[in-house]
Amino acid sequence: MAIQFENDDGGAEQGVMVEMNITPLIDVMLVLLVMLIITIPIQLHSINVEMPVGPPPTEIVEPLVVKIDITRTDQIFWNGELLPDLRTLEARLQAAAQMKEPPEVHVQPDRAARYDTVAGVLGASQRLGLRKVGVVGLEQFAP
């Protein structure tokens, strides 16, 4: 009694294998995956902040604030003092700009003040070298 194999024709050729050998493909993909994981930089979930070195400042200096009010009749007030004209304002702004520590300028226009007056005050402040200029009291313009 002999063992019989299927398709054992003796000298006949074996059938062609139609399935793809995917073992080498999986090996290459695993190697590429490992290389990708190794080359990705480690993600840090922190933010690097440079903290100041040395002792904290001894005193906090409050900035000098100049308040310029513009009324509905286009009168200009410098810290509550009525200015006669725009030239007086420009002279005071120039003197403030030449100070060692220039002050902050807070411009507070009235809702009914003319635009060209407000723009003139802001333009003069910028032209004369003041960099800390802001418009305050804008809540009156909200609907």
Domain ranges of the chain: 78-138
What's the confidence (pLDDT) of residue 29? 94
pLDDT tens-digit profile of 112-127?
899 999 999 999 999 9
What's the confidence (pLDDT) of residue 44? 67
pLDDT tens-digit profile of 9-54?
555 566 777 788 888 899 999 999 999 888 887 776 777 788 888 8
Which token pair is 20?
A: 């793809």
Of 1 and 77, which is predicted with more confidence? 77
What's the confidence (pLDDT) of residue 93? 92
All residues at 6 or more sequence positions from 118 whose CB lies less than 8 Å from its CB, including other chains:
70, 107, 109, 135
Which token pair is 135?
A: 């418009």
What's the confidence (pLDDT) of residue 4? 55
Q: What's the chain's length in residues?
A: 143
Question: Is residue 75 scored above 90 in pLDDT?
Answer: yes
Cβ of 113: how many Cβ atoms within 10 Å?
A: 19
Which token pair is 50?
A: 């440079």
- Return the closest-CA partner of residue 118 out of 80, 84, 78, 69: 69
Calpha distance 89→76 (Å, rounded):
8
- Return the closest-CA partner of residue 124 out of 95, 99, 103, 93: 93
Which stretches within 5-85 are classed as H helix? 23-39
Calpha distance 55→71 (Å, rounded):
46
What's the confidence (pLDDT) of residue 53? 87
**Overall pTM surpassing 0.75 (yes/no):** no
